[in-house]
A and B are shown apart, each in its own frame.
Chain A
């Protein structure tokens, strides 16, 4: 059973920090990351943030995948937001400075969809948290109960841990 320990640790990490608040924050952060197109430093930084904070990674990762698809449908809105911000005369100096700062161009902030979706994601994090928290409070115990019944979970967790989860 010693071979299962690392896997167990990883699985625990995904499912630990599983209070409704942590689940809701994981979900909200994952949503923001999912909306942003990948392949730039903004997405990488946000993923790092998700991993660094004590939020539920499983909820966060699931939200990333879910909102990566939803994000494509929201692209026109993100594009308009990004275009509006990037073309604001008052912000030109700020953008110019950013653009000429090393490493920042890799964030692709000068792309309308990247900036727009990033801003949209930031704006939606707290509302998403507020909406998700009661739902997770309601559903989390039921899910835990169901998950415990799976053989694989029993095998990974062992009797002691399943007892803790319960």
Chain B
């Protein structure tokens, strides 16, 4: 009976022991992987996980944390980790890592699979859109800097065009336009004068014709007199229009002169634009490189900030039952705290494999209780001496958390760096010694920082591409000589603004040195070029103006002569028709002729007496006119 009581209890105790011996670690292992995957949104692989109760400690091996934003690479990996927990705190349900070591830390390493978790189509699209937006944001500023630089460096090529293409000048274009307009106008007037002449000829021919009876002849005279009067009016109007054209011509020539003045100003401005701006040149050359370096720091800061916010947020699980009350303790304990972890690993700096070591402290779920910021210190010695210090302060809940990152390195044999843009102006920098220092402070969303890069001695090689490659060989040589003569290179970047919209300015000795040298070397050439261009324009416009004057004079004279001739013809015609008595003839003849021309009504008898009477009256009137 006693055994029958003891054995089942022993079995239950054995089951509990078996759970802790064989089930507890796998359960925690699985839980840790799930929690990690939830935190970073990508696969977490952990080869082994072990716990010990006396003293409480955790050890892990071969951990790989995939990078969600760069499929196929690891965000972080480490070979082994050993963490010792504080027993007294653990008894109060507080996980405090008293001391630990993580070794074999690496980041950005490739992995066999993508590292992405199973995604729904919507999640995949959302991730891709976010990655694209992030990449676009990164590229936008770089593209802006390069575009601005390319725009003003395009002046190198434009200068050649300035000299060769006269069509770009407003005055030249306007001169040609005026010439075309005047020619067309004179052609129109000429055509009208020709038409008048033709009409005069027609009338004359009609008068000379012997066809028809007396009444028809009289009617022809009468029509001719009316037409002659109309032609006289037409000639008068045409003369008036030609007078107006003279006024328009004066205005056109005045416009041409104004256009010439504007062209001269444009030439001066264009040539001034060609002078290199030191600041713009510095930004163009160094902007992309410094921006890239800055973005790396900002991205790491942003990532760390997001993880810290997630760690301190401590949301309740969805299936959590009830609500937890917290009570004051004699000594407040955070739920989770990393007091100190020693970290070591290897990375690549300036293209060289480099080992590093450092510490991480103060990572906690309750920074306000711990009262100390998260501090990360990493140091690397060897071909590159590098230091990283990051301080993330979340201790004061009344103010925005602050994040400070300080990165510096010094190398004796720096790798080559390409500055600028291969499509316009690029400079390859090969440095003997490189010193780099970056400070970044992020409070809330406000960002503030400085980057300093110094390389000495340096060998610089210039390469002109795209439109810039079309410049004069002498200019290219000047560039090469000046850039080749620079022995030291320094650059400073000042950063302000917000994380979403950072504003920055660059100062460097490179831009001023190149710009000053190039400007000095080219100043005479520029002046000569400008004078030549001004003279060329002046000559072109003067020639055009002369041409217009000649055109106007010739055409106007020709037209005036033609109109004068037509005028004479009309006068002769009038004389021929009525001997100067045209108005009287027209007046006398109108009434009786109208009666005669009236069509006969077949229903009414022809009044012969009336016709006779009209004929006699007409004859008397005509006799009177011609007698007079």
**Chain A residues in the interface with B (C-beta under 8 A):** 6, 9-10, 12-14, 16, 37, 51-52, 54, 57, 72, 75, 78-79, 82-83, 86-87, 92, 95-96, 99-100, 102-103, 105-106, 108, 110-114, 116
Are B9 and A51 neighbours in the complex by a CB distance under 8 Å? yes
Q: Given the known A-B contacts A14-B8, A54-B5, A105-B93, are A112 and B329 also in contact in the complex, defined by CB atoms under 8 Å?
A: no
A99 to B322, CA, bound (A): 17
Instruction: Give min CB distance, B205 to chain A, whole Å.
Output: 122
On whether the beta carbons of A9 and B8 are closer than 8 Å, the reply is yes
B12–A79 touching, CB < 8 Å = no
* Known A9-B3, A105-B92; 20 more pairs at CB < 8 Å: A10-B8, A10-B11, A13-B8, A13-B9, A16-B4, A51-B8, A51-B9, A54-B5, A95-B327, A96-B329, A99-B327, A102-B88, A102-B91, A103-B91, A105-B91, A105-B93, A110-B324, A110-B325, A110-B326, A111-B321
The answer to whether A111 and B93 touch across the interface, beta carbons within 8 angstroms, is: no
Chain A binding site: helix, strand, loop or mixed by DSSP?
helix
How many residues on the B side are at the interface (Cβ–Cβ under 8 A)? 22
Is there a chain A Cβ closer than 8 Å to B7's Cβ? yes
How many contacting A-B pairs (Cβ < 8 A)? Answer: 79
Interface residues of B (CB under 8 A from A): 3-5, 7-9, 11-12, 88, 91-93, 321-330
Which residues of chain B are near A57, meaning CB under 8 Å?
Answer: 8
A79 touches B323 (CB 8 A): yes
Q: In the docked arrangement, what's the CA distance between A75 and B323, Å?
A: 11
> Which of B9, B92, B321 makes the CB contact (< 8 A) with A37?
B321
Minimum Cβ distance to chain A for residue B203 (Å): 118
Name B88's closest neighbour in chain A (CB-CB). Answer: A102
Q: Judge whether B325 and A86 touch: CB under 8 Å.
A: yes
Pairs A–B under 8 Å by Cβ, sample size 17: A9-B4, A9-B7, A12-B8, A13-B11, A37-B322, A51-B8, A72-B321, A75-B321, A83-B323, A95-B327, A99-B326, A100-B327, A100-B330, A110-B327, A112-B324, A113-B321, A114-B321
Task: List A contacts of B88 (CB < 8 A).
Answer: 102
Q: Would you call A75 and B322 a contact (CB within 8 A)?
A: yes
Which residues in A have their C-beta under 8 angstroms from that of B92?
Answer: 100, 102, 105
Q: B322 contacts A114, CB within 8 Å?
A: yes
A-B complex: 3 closest residue pairs judged by Cβ atoms:
A13-B8, A113-B322, A102-B91
On whether the beta carbons of B322 and A13 are closer than 8 Å, the reply is no
For residue A44, which residue of chain B has the nearest CB? B16
Bound: A102/B325 CA distance, A: 17
Using CB atoms, name the residue of chain A closest to B7: A9
A91 to B37 alpha-carbon distance, docked (Å): 41
Complex Cα distance, B88 from A148, in Å, reads: 53
A16 to B12, CA, bound (A): 16
- Distance in angstroms from B608 CB to nearest chain A CB is 135
Q: Return B366 CB to nearest CB of chain A, in Å.
A: 15
- Once the chains bind, are B91 and A79 in contact (CB under 8 Å)? no
- Which residues on the B side are within 8 Å of A14 (C-beta)? 8
